[in-house]
Structure 1
Amino acid sequence: MATEDLEWERSKISNQDMNLLKKLGFTKKENTLRFPKEESYPLPPIEYRVSFVDHLIRGLSPPIHEFLRGLLFVYGLQLHQLTPNSILHVSIFITLCECFLGVQPNWALWKRIFCLRRNGSHNVAYNIGGVVICVRSDVEYFDVKFPDSVQGWRKRWLYVHEESSDSVENNIAPFDGGAKILRRRSWDAEATEDEKLAIEALMTRIHELQNTRGKELSGIQITAYFLRIRMQPLQARKNPLWMYAGEEDVDRLSKDLPVKDLEKLIQRISSLSKKDTIPSSCRITPYSGANPLPENHPFASLPPLPEGGEVEERTVVDDDNQAVMRMKINLLTRLLERPLMKEFIRLGTQFVGYRDYAKKTEENLVEANKRADALARKLEQSEKARKKAEADAKKAKADAAAVEDLRQRLHDAETSLSDNISEQAVREAEILSRLQSQNRRFVRKTHQDFDLECPEGDQLLDELSLLEFHGEEAREGLAEARAGLSRLFPYFFPKKQEPKIFTTLAKCFNSQEDLGLKLRQEGLKIGVEGTIALVADSQQDVDWAKVGEIKELETKKWQSLIKAAKPNSKPILAFLGCKPTPAPSSSKPRTLLMRTNV
């Protein structure tokens, strides 16, 4: 299976987390906790270890309880390699032992109930929280209602103060965030037969606590109890929990939690929701100063053994060498109790710890330099990418501006085209109206209307075609009129020259003077002169003086004279150069008779 360690990143402790730690009493003592600043990898000060907010709210508090110190030593683990649920398992176990069994945390009982497993998915093996404490499959234990997962707990890390102990076994190893987790045989170590006999009464008592009707004890009740009274099971305390003295207890972090705050905290660390009932007290009264242990109560306890990776066999001492062994032990005990020896041991332990810490720090520094070089290369690459992105963005911005300008120009062109189309439509409507008006005018004046044989289907073009037909007819009419007027012009205007322009020519015939009457009078004058000449030539004896004095001729006499002269009218008209009409008028002329000078 391929493995991949989750890397450390900058701590993200929120204001809500800070307020919760303050309310729970963790910040009451100065220098108990230290919060990271901007570092993305833990760099704890001397005598500080890396822990998590979710560890603290599940029962952890410095200085750390010796039972947890022993577990870390036996299993070869660091504090950050345990999950929050594993920390809660240890807290519940210690509370169970001290408050409900009345014993110190028992190593044999622990091995009977728990074992360790690696934490990870199919392709990922975690280093931060890479170990899980599990209940053995053949053991009936309390249902703690753990959540399926604790979201984001790896990002809420901080430093907790932890003084060095006098013994290596009880010292927590210096922080090494990159240390690989190595599985040890101690993870699966089971209680021996002798240990099982020793803890049989304790296992029986646990089953009674679980199954006594009306007094059933649950993992949530145990958790709610130590959270409410503000006693941290994983803190090194002056007195065990069966001596809890209430509000005056020196090991309390703060006053009792209100029920509302307790319910919120239980909901955060368990799978219970707002709909579930959350107990604020246990159904069975725990041991305390108010409920002391019964007389002759056994205080059996087997603390964790100092192992180097696996469970060691205990030395068997028979009757023959008991005295010798007792003497050696007493001598060694007196030697170790000397102040100078204790100081040497403490200094030696600190030196070993500092040496290991310095070695790990050098290794971390080398790794940090490699990471810094890699980051520098990535930074250079990202700088080039940034410049390229800026250039691309600038070009894209210019292109966008050009596109926007083109879009605006296109919009303006479309608007202008729309306006032109509207104006053209109005103009065409006006032209069409004028064409129709002209055609109606031609029809009224010429009494000639046309029908198109092959219309175009366009009203404007069709009206224009009709106008062309009317125009052609008008041109033909004008040509005929000019020809006629030109022929008549010499008769009406013998002393004038014919105008070249048709309008001027037409105006000549459209004067106020009656040209027809004038022409008739001229013709009458010629006729009179011609008649006088015929009469004179005929040798008739006529008194022309009397004829000239005639002023008016009666109609009847005029008609009779015409009638008498009618048979001879044709020769006379021929003489005058006129063709006779089929029915010559015999009516008297409207005008006054003109006096003729002979």
Structure 2
Amino acid sequence: MAAEDLEWERSKISNQDLNMMKKLGLMKKEDAIRFPSEESYPNPPMEYRVSFVDHLIRGLSAPIHDFLRGLLFVYGIQLHQLTPNSILHISIFITLCECFLGVPPNWALWKRIFLLRRNASRNATYNIGGVVICVRTDVDYFDVKFPDSVQGWRKKWLYIHEESANSVEHNIIPFDGNAKIQRRRSWDAEASEEEKKATEALMSRIRQLQNTRGKELSGVQITAYFLRIRVQPLQARKNPLWTYAGGNDANRLSSDLSAKDLEKLIRRISRLNKKDPVPSSCRVEPYSATNPLPENHPTMTSLPPLPEDGEVKEQAIVAEDNQGSSLHESEVAGSHKSATSHEKEVGSEASESTQSLPPAVSPKNKRKRDDAEASGTSKPEEAVPSHPKSAYDPYLGTLISSDDEEVVPTVDVATRTKKLAEANERANTLGQQLEHSEKARKKAELDATEARAEADKAKADAAGVEDLRKRLHTAETSLSDHIAAQSAREEAILKRLRTQSRRFVARTAQEFQLEEPANDPLLDALSFLEVHGSEAREGIDQAKAGLSRLFPYFFPKKEEPATFLNLAKNFNSSEDLGLKMRQENMKVAVESTVALVADSQQTIDWMKVGDTNQIEQSRWRSLIKVAKPNTKKILAYLGIKPPSTPSSSRPEV
């Protein structure tokens, strides 16, 4: 298989992949992702980097986490050179640290568990997915259950926005398709004794999480957890996962996935088959806002060196040892705790080993073994025991000398003595330079720490100022809205006052002028209302006094009402009270006349009294008719009996 068989080609992303990324919230921002058009080789726009669909669905989002950025820098690799399962390894590790250990992702702990190896076959080396993350053989780690193959992931490439306009703090290193993968000493970096001692409690906790009966934690459970809560572990976040606040958490990219979509995604990125159940929850409750960290819980911080901390020099690059650093197709094993899995396309895609490999043999020991075999001996010479291996330090990597052995020519004693003195002098000079370099390094580290602290303080101050600005802007907006509402309310009140004033003037036909106006529309309108109220009260008092004096004349048999309104209602009837009063007076007068005539002992024909021609007024006639019943009552009272049968004859009185 030629190396170019697995190199770049035109991107082929399916509709199913697009739908999945939309559901995961990866395309929520309009410019978060751009898709290649017709190009067969990546040419990312400004501020974009190359990634893959299978990277994104395994927890990657921009801007990337500081821990991932540090790994890329220390290992000297680019993002596209990591396989999908390696990305998932980092996502699981960060979730493990933040949710179940209660610490930020720890570089010292990482070195105790993982190392880096080249991904290659016997016939080709790859640039896309050319390195894999492996679990060390002497470490008992979680059952991750990586799939045996990731079909066609190299063909599903796209561009992601790095989202870092003001600083390079979270930037992904720019894409360089021509950069070759070179193995570095940092690939095998081990934790120092001090780091092992500091992380021993974390390792004990990992063993406890794995082996507690009934509460065993697995890699699939951790994967399902970060997919379920909709937070990308490899994205730079404002808050760690141990403060996760549920559906309203600021780090969530989307709403909860449906049970069907979640199960489908978990089976896609793991080795679970249709018969294996998908974990609906973790057997161990992760830390969150509802399950906070215990009091005085140590949150030790240990990040890999970042670009601003110093460069990893080219001298840290070591020669390749194909027997120890490459993964061949024939080496695929059944280990469920591997760093990667057999990721290949059918017929052409190369595989990744599922077996974690030991550190590569150094070129120096390899040459000794080859020399021994060439000399005809049955086995190589026994190597001299070396000192315990110390942790890799990128600052000292530039001072490591070549592993090639020095061939010393045969010379006389004087010459050798002279050269030995020169060598001692050079050694002393180098020792002094090393001491100065160490002092300079420590001073640079101290200066960098102080600068970082000052930068953090400046950021905090800037954040505080920005928060004050936002709060001031909110207060100004609220005050402006309140003023507008108050103005509208005052205008409505003024309108109502003016309307009442016009109605009063229309009713009373009286115009008033203020003696001392306040020149304030609202106060002046209120003053007019007070004047109108005073006038209305005086009018009501006068009307009540007048009606009270007239009441006995119009309603002699009624008791005067207590309130003015009821008193006015008596005078506001539909009847003509004046006419009624005159009629009553007229009836009294007629009745009095009838009584006088009856008392005079005269004979009167009462039937003809109302027909006399001398009385022509119709009103008089009506009064006579009305008075007849009363007349009968009067006559009966006086003891006079009228005729039994009405006739035109004169009744005798």
Who is 1:312 aligned against? 393
Match of 2:244 in 1: 244
Q: SS at 1:134's partner residue? A: strand
Deviation track 1:443-488 (CA, whole Å, cap 9, x = no partner) reads xxxxxxxxxxxxxxxxxxxxxxxxxxxxxxxxxxxxxxxxxxxxxx
In the alignment, the residues of structure 1 paired with residue 34 and residue 105 of structure 2 have an alpha-carbon distance, to the nearest angstrom, of: 29
C-alpha deviations, 1:78-103, integer Å up to 9, x for none? 11000000000000000000000000
In structure 1, what is the Cα distance between the partners aligned to 2:441 and 2:116?
A: 37
Give, in angstroms, the shift of residue 250 of structure 1: 1.0
Q: Deviations over 1:49-95 (max 9, x none)?
A: 00000000000011111110111011111110000000000000000
- Tell me the amino acid that sits aligned with residue 94 of structure 2: I
Residue 327 of structure 1: CA displacement? 8.3
Task: Write out aligned runs for 1:459-538 (5 A).
Answer: none
Could you say which residue in structure 2 is the equivalent of 1:156? 156
> Is the CA contact (8 Å cut-off) linking 2:63 and 2:171 kept in structure 1?
no
Q: Could you state the TM-score of these two structures normalised by the residue count of structure 1?
A: 0.53
Matches of 1:326 and 1:77, distance apart in 2: 24
Q: Which residue of 2 aligns with 1:412?
A: none
1:70 touches 1:170 (CA, 8 Å); kept in 2? Answer: no
Task: Tell me how far apart the structure 2 counterparts of residues 323 and 53 of structure 1 sit (CA, whole Å).
Answer: 42
1:122 paired to 2:122: yes
> Is the CA contact (8 Å cut-off) linking 2:144 and 2:220 kept in structure 1?
yes
CA shift, 1:257, in A, is 1.7
Partner of 2:22: 22
Q: Quick one: distance in 2 between partners of 1:148 and 1:113?
A: 22
Structure 2 residue ranges without an equivalent (≥5): 317-391, 397-434, 460-653
Matched residues in 1 for 2:161 and 2:255: separation? 22
Q: Distance in 2 between matches of 1:297 and 1:225?
A: 23
Deviations 1:294-340 (A, max 9, x none): 001001121002451544267999xx999988985687558868989
Superposed CA deviations along residues 364-419 of structure 1, whole A, max 9, x for unmatched, are xxxxxxxxxxxxxxxxxxxxxxxxxxxxxxxxxxxxxxxxxxxxxxxxxxxxxxxx
Equivalence for 2:230: 230
Does residue 78 of structure 2 align to residue 78 of structure 1? Answer: yes
Separation in 2 of the partners of 1:286 and 1:57? 22
The 1:14–1:214 alpha-carbon spacing in structure 2 relative to 1, beyond 3 Å, is same
Match of 1:292 in 2: 292
Q: Which residue of 2 aligns with 1:274?
A: 274
Could you tell me which residue of structure 2 aligns to residue 211 of structure 1?
Answer: 211
Q: In 2, Cα distance between the equivalents of 1:28 and 1:275?
A: 34
CA distance in 1, matches of 2:35, 2:231: 23
CA distance in 1, matches of 2:165, 2:187: 24
Trace 1:431-442 onto structure 2 (pairs within 5 A): none
Residue type matched to 1:7 in 2? E
Under a length normalisation based on structure 2, what TM-score does the superposition of the two structures give? 0.49
> Structure 2: how far apart are the matches of 1:236 and 1:219?
22
8 Å contact 2:32–2:160 — kept in the other structure?
yes
Q: Distance in 1 between matches of 2:441 and 2:259?
A: 56
CA contact (8 A) 1:92 1:223 kept: yes
What is the CA–CA distance in structure 1 between the aligned matches of 2:204 and 2:282, rounded to whole Å? 19
Q: Give the aligned partner of residue 187 of structure 2.
A: 187
CA distance in 2, matches of 1:195, 1:53: 36
- Please give the alpha-carbon distance, in whole angstroms, between the structure 2 residues aligned to 1:142 and 1:333: 35
Q: How many residues align?
A: 338
Q: Is the 8 A contact 1:73 1:169 kept in 2?
A: no
Alignment pair present for 1:88 and 2:103: no
Over aligned residue pairs, what C-alpha RMSD do you find?
3.0
Counterpart residue identity of residue 28, structure 1:
K
d(CA) in 2 for partners of 1:65, 1:72:
11
What CA distance in whole angstroms lies between the structure 2 residues aligned with 1:321 and 1:36? Answer: 47
Question: Residues 126 and 339 from structure 1, CA distance in 2 versus in 1: closer, same or farther, beyond 3 angstroms?
Answer: same
What percentage of aligned pairs have identical amino acids?
72
SS across alignment from 2:6: coil
Give the equivalent residue in structure 1 for 2:135.
135
Shift of 1:260: 1.8
Q: Relative to structure 1, is the Cα distance of residues 230 and 337 closer, same or farther in structure 2, using a 3 angstrom cutoff?
A: closer
1-structure distance, mates of 2:457, 2:252 = 33
Task: Judge conservation of contact 2:215–2:283 (CA < 8 Å) in 1.
Answer: yes
How far apart, CA to CA, are the structure 2 residues paired with 1:204 and 1:330? 31
| In 2: Cα distance, 1:261 partner to 1:131 partner | 30
Q: Distance in 2 between matches of 1:107 and 1:205?
A: 17
Whole-angstrom distance in 2 between the partners of 1:130 and 1:326: 33
Q: Which residue of the partner structure matches residue 173 of structure 1? A: 173
Tell me the CA shift for residue 209 of structure 1: 0.2
Q: Counterparts of 1:330 and 1:234 in 2: how far apart (Å)?
A: 25
Does the 8 Å contact 1:4/1:125 carry over to 2?
Answer: no
1:308 aligned partner, one-letter code: V
Q: Matched residues in 2 for 1:180 and 1:197: separation?
A: 36
CA shift, 1:172, in A, is 2.3
How far off its partner does 1:177 sit? Answer: 1.9
Counterparts of 1:104 and 1:192, CA distance in 2: 19
SS of equivalent to 1:199: helix
* Higher Cα radius of gyration: 1
Question: Whole-Å Cα distance in 2 between the matches of residues 251 and 324 of structure 1?
Answer: 37
